[in-house]
Amino acid sequence: MNVLHEQVRHRQFGIGNITEQTERLITVEFSEEYGIKLFQYPLAFEQYLMFCDAGLQDIIHAKAHLMAEQIEAERKRKEEEYQRQEEERKKKFAAAAPKKRPPAKSSTKKASSKSKKQALPLDDAAEG
């Protein structure tokens, strides 16, 4: 929608004229006191700007609302894609990590009860 040369109202800056327009930005020239300001188009009409022509305001409000919904949907899609990539990265990392080995068995064996019994008489003989 071409809004070039339309008058807009801003709460702080007052009335201004749109002097330039791109797909995502508009340039508004306000009084000398405030000068030239850039705004996101059409999102600025959700919060900051209002057309002096009420008919244009309704049209732009609908367009801004639709654009805000599209931006939110894109943000959600990117977040879901990021989460999916993180899960894949974690799976790859877990698969590439070396497997944990069970602890090695001790190589020292406990003395059997037979060897303990045999040792006792020798000690008794040494005392006697």
Segment 15-35, tens digit of pLDDT: 999 999 998 999 999 999 999
User: DSSP for 94-124?
Assistant: HHHSPPPPPPPPPSPPPPPHHHHHHHHHHHH
Whether 112 is in a domain gets the answer no
**Within a domain: 82:** yes
Distance, in Å, from the CA atom of 42 to the CA atom of 27, rounded to the nearest integer, reads 12
Distance between CA atoms of residues 18 and 111, nearest Å: 97
Supply the range of the domain harboring residue 52: 7-95
42 domain-assigned: yes
pTM: 0.54
Within a domain: 31: yes
Cβ atoms 52, 7 nearer than 8 A: yes
- The contacts of residue 48 (CB under 8 Å, 6+ apart) are 10, 11, 39
Q: Among 36-45, 63-72, 91-100, 106-115, which stretch is predicted with the lowest mean pLDDT?
A: 106-115
